[in-house]
Amino acid sequence: MRRARYPVISGWLAILLTPLVLPVALVAQLLPIKKTIDRTPEEVVGFIEDFLNGAGGQWDWDEFESIPITDLELEGIRELATTPGVELAGVLVEARRIMEERSAGQLRP
């Protein structure tokens, strides 16, 4: 399942655009722009499941690994999932627990 939310530029086009994009990227680092992404527990579970099953798109895991999540509990899951040597199946269980807890919380009046 492909999850990338933006087009991926690669090859010669990426090399040619680098001199234009680099100064913009440097300026963007100085601006007060949000540097995290809002993700749901379902999205986090989906990224981990896709990675374990080999079903994700070419850049999905890189996107998951590289962009911090605004929700601190889900950010902890992301950090744990991207730690070398960690058993992803166990991280997936924890991510599913969070997803189920939040789903159950929404159903209550």
The domain in which residue 60 lies consists of 34-107
Confidence tier at 106 by pLDDT (50, 70, 90):
confident
Measure the N-to-C terminal CA separation of the chain; round to a whole number of Å: 34
- What's the confidence (pLDDT) of residue 89? 96
Q: Which two structure tokens, joined as six digits, stand for 50?
A: 């896709």
Residue 101 lies in a domain: yes
Residue 28 lies in a domain: no
In a domain, 60, yes or no: yes
Above 80 in pLDDT, residue 91? yes
Distance separating alpha carbons of residues 45 and 7, to the nearest angstrom: 23
pLDDT for 1-50, tens place per residue?
Answer: 556 566 777 888 878 888 888 888 888 777 777 889 999 999 999 999 99
Indicate yes or no: pTM above 0.75: no
Kindly state whether residue 79 falls inside one of the protein's structural domains: yes
Averaged pLDDT, 66-81: 97
Residue 70 covered by a domain: yes
Distances 19 to 13, 16, 22, 28 between C-alpha atoms, Å: 11, 7, 6, 15
* 25 in any annotated domain: no
Number of domains observed in the structure of the chain: 1
Question: Does 87 reside within a domain?
Answer: yes
Q: Is residue 21 part of a domain?
A: no
